[in-house]
Amino acid sequence: MRTFIAVDLDKEIKNNLISLLDKLKKKGENIKWVRQQGMHLTIKFIGEIKEEKISEIEKILRKISEGHKPFSLKIIGTGFFPHEKKNPRVLWAGVEADETLASLQKELESDLESIGFPREKREFHPHLTLGRVKAPSVWETISELQKYKESTFGEMIANKITFFRSILKPSGAEYIILSEHQLK
């Protein structure tokens, strides 16, 4: 099963981002937009696991959640990856958080590595994926996206981390909560 660990977003933030997507959708058709259900801050993509690994991962999540306090998240700005190329692949909204998020993410990487899951090679840049580019020539959409590069889409207190299962379907990914872990 395909899995990842994330912070789910407050409904108000999701609604603000959906309003943004409604504006962006008018500009381009070559983008697969994230649905409201898929709006979350991924802390660690684990990938395919066997069912036997669930309890080991949940044990780590319990330990980590007990060692970290709730933290504030601010969803601010927009952009795209990669920056240096002419053909962007991901459109995103930015995330500002205190050092708790970075600390939690580093500990998660380390603890999951200890049970056989490799560390992410790229540096952690918290962001919310808004859409994935399916074909080149999305510059009209990028131009519209850039209008929001300093906009704020909401703030929240992240008080739990969620272990998700992702089922890929032609209509889009379906997300199932395996477990939630309250930050202390």
Out of 83, 125, 127, 181, which one is annotated catalytic? 127
Write down the pLDDT at residue 26.
85
With a CB cutoff of 8 Å and minimum separation 6, the contacts of 116 are none
Average pLDDT over residues 110-133: 94
Domain ranges of the chain: 2-182
pTM of the model: 0.91
How crowded is residue 30: how many other Cβ atoms within 10 Å of its Cβ? 12
Instruction: Residue 166: name the closest of 129, 133, 113 by CA.
Output: 129
Among 29-43, 96-110, 152-166, name the one with the lowest average pLDDT.
Answer: 29-43
How crowded is residue 85: how many other Cβ atoms within 10 Å of its Cβ? 9
Task: Name the CATH superfamily housing domain 2-182.
Answer: Cyclic phosphodiesterase (3.90.1140.10)
40 is a catalytic site residue:
yes
pLDDT digits (tens, 9 = 90+) for 71-91: 999 999 999 988 766 678 899
